[in-house]
Amino acid sequence: MGIRLYNSLTLQVEDFVPSDSNAVRMYTCGPTVYSFAHIGNLRTFTFNDILRRWLRARDFVLHDVMNITDVEDKIIRNSMAKGIPMGEYTQQYEKAFIEDCATMRFVPPWRLVRATEHIPEMVAMIEKLHEKGFTYESDGSVYYRIGRFPGYGKLSHNDFGGIRAGARVDVDEYDKDDARDFVLWKARKENEPFWEAPFGNGRPGWHIECSAMATKYLGDTLDIHAGGIDLLFPHHENEIAQSEGCSGKPFARFWLHCEHLLVDFSKMSKSLGNIYTLRELIEMGHAPETVRYLLASVPYRKKLNFSFDGLKAAATSIERLRNYALRLNTDKYPDGVSEPLEARAVKALADFDAGMDDDLNTAEALAAIYEYVRDTNSAMDAGDFKAGNVASAKRVLEKFDSVFEVLAPSVTEGALPDAAIDALVAERSLAKKNKDFKRSDEIRAELLAMGVILEDTKDGARWKRKS
Ligand code: AMP
Ligand code: ZN
């Protein structure tokens, strides 16, 4: 069985196969760089990272594009209020976003593309839509006439039969269930950035940015288009109207949407003022991999209510797995191999795969790992786990970490490198052997002060960093 994914277009979980051999053409709506990303945004991008990792794990070759929206209403408003040129304003947040993605351990996409570097493609698309009769002009702006596109509403599953002809909207975001002709090109306004176009100077609407960039890099029909659930309408509905209006072909075969991260059961959003940025959480002492684990552990189509208890539980889960990895690496096991435990590892891997294949059910995949860890921990206690079982147990952990990637602790600035810790631990062992307990206690205290915990076992001393 291969990967099955929930398709918002058909409202069904479907077998996923790319249209062209094993190459997956995928587009994801990226951030609007007008401020720091909050962990709600990062939930959607974590889902995206898990999806990309799992497609790769299933041997697909990814051609995936993510955009940076670096021209849009909020950006212009904020940069003008601060008196900073738009490019300079967006650059700092784009840089911060890329840093956050690295901190979150996201695998970089094949292409990360800026809207402002694709204005000619957007202009060409608007011209094509104009030739095909989908557009009209008013006060120097160009609008998309949604009444001309019979499929309008097919993604949001709304019947827009009663569309008010000529009702139009200049802003990029508007309410659900309210179908309006949307803006493709906004007429130049005093002091605002603008570009030249045959239909007048101005700037692109938000929706045309994604259609133009997706088509440029991935062709007329994508295998997957992804984003947060709030983008489904109107943004993605409008992308379909633009792209299909232009090409006459289906725009995306699979539409994937990540549910919201909530705070006190309301959507985390800048406008509600209930946001946390990754940077804030790190300042508060939370490790980035804890945030990653928390966001990744709940299947993407379920709402997730953020809480500090949840974050603490995520840290405990990671700790448990790290302790297991440590035990695997440092305990001495009897020679030989237990065949039932080898079979147990094969089952754990199969269950993990089955969970991930099932519309990226990360909760199911995690359960497979925890059951395996519990079973093998008991086998270790009972002396049934043999030296020959270590390799398969490591394979299970590696498989888990190839998707979740939380096992390696983030090395905080100024932290002691592994080699230095090893050297101190060796020095302490020697001190103990020479009955120099003063020095050995000193080293233990020194390490503890630097966030390293020492544990003496029958097989010698082992250490771990404090989470
Ligand atoms: P933006 O930078 O506002 O364009 O948003 C970037 C991405 O984050 C989009 O895919 C949004 O749908 C998504 N997003 C925004 N708020 C949340 C949230 N609370 N939970 C999950 N995803 C979100
Ligand atoms: Zn988009």
The rounded Å distance from CA 66 to ligand 1 centre is: 14
DSSP letter assigned to residue 416: P
Q: Which residues line ligand 1 (CB under 6 A)?
A: 29, 31-32, 40-41, 43-44, 227-228, 230-231, 258, 260-261, 267-269
Q: Is residue 244 over pLDDT 70?
A: yes
How many percent of the chain have pLDDT more than 70? 97
The per-residue pLDDT for range 254-298, each reduced to its tens digit, is 999 999 999 999 999 999 999 999 999 999 999 999 999 999 999
The rounded Å distance from CA 43 to ligand 2 centre is: 16
The rounded Å distance from CA 152 to ligand 2 centre is: 17
Which phi and psi angles does 27 have, rounded to 5°?
-125, 135
Please, is 155 exposed, middle or buried when counting C-beta atoms within 10 Å of its C-beta (0-12, 13-18, 19+)?
buried
Q: Is residue 176 over pLDDT 60?
A: no
In this structure, the residue with its CA closest to atom 11 of ligand 1 is 228
17-21, 335-339, 462-466, range with greatest mean pLDDT: 335-339
Contacts of 324 (CB under 8 A, 6+ apart): 373, 377, 397
Give the lowest-confidence range in 148-152, 216-220, 344-348, 391-395: 148-152
Q: Specify the pLDDT at position 413.
A: 59
In this structure, the residue with its CA closest to atom 7 of ligand 1 is 41
In this structure, the residue with its CA closest to atom 14 of ligand 1 is 41
114/131 Cα distance (integer angstroms): 26
Report the pLDDT averaged over residues 88-92.
Answer: 97
Q: Is residue 91 over pLDDT 90?
A: yes
Coil/strand/helix, residue 347: helix
Average pLDDT, the chain: 94
Q: Can you list the alpha helix ranges (DSSP code H) found in 286-417? A: 288-297, 308-330, 339-357, 362-382, 390-404
- Would you state the torsion angle of the CA atoms of residues 119, 255, 102, 296, taken in this order, to the nearest 10 degrees? 160
C-alpha dist (Å) from residue 431 to 272, 423, 450? 58, 12, 20
The rounded Å distance from CA 229 to ligand 1 centre is: 8
The per-residue pLDDT for range 128-147, each reduced to its tens digit, is 999 999 999 999 999 999 99
Neighbours of 10 (CB within 10 A): 12
Ligand 1 atom at minimal distance to the Cα of residue 69: 4
Q: Which of 174, 156, 219 is nearest to 18 (CA)?
A: 219
- Going along the chain from its start, the domains and CATH numbers come out as 4-258 (3.40.50.620), 278-404 (1.10.730.10), 418-465 (no CATH)
In this structure, the residue with its CA closest to atom 10 of ligand 1 is 228
The amino acid present at 455, given as its one-letter code, is: E
User: Helix, strand, coil proportions of the chain in percent (round to 5)?
Assistant: 50, 20, 35
**Ligand found nearest the CA of 270:** 1
Q: Which of 126, 220, 219, 234 is nearest to 172 (CA)?
A: 234
Report the pLDDT averaged over residues 394-406.
Answer: 98
104/362 Cα distance (integer angstroms): 17
The rounded Å distance from CA 230 to ligand 2 centre is: 11
Give the lowest-confidence range in 119-128, 250-259, 438-447: 438-447
Residues with C-beta atoms within 5 A of ion ligand 2? 29, 210
How many percent of the chain have pLDDT more than 90? 82
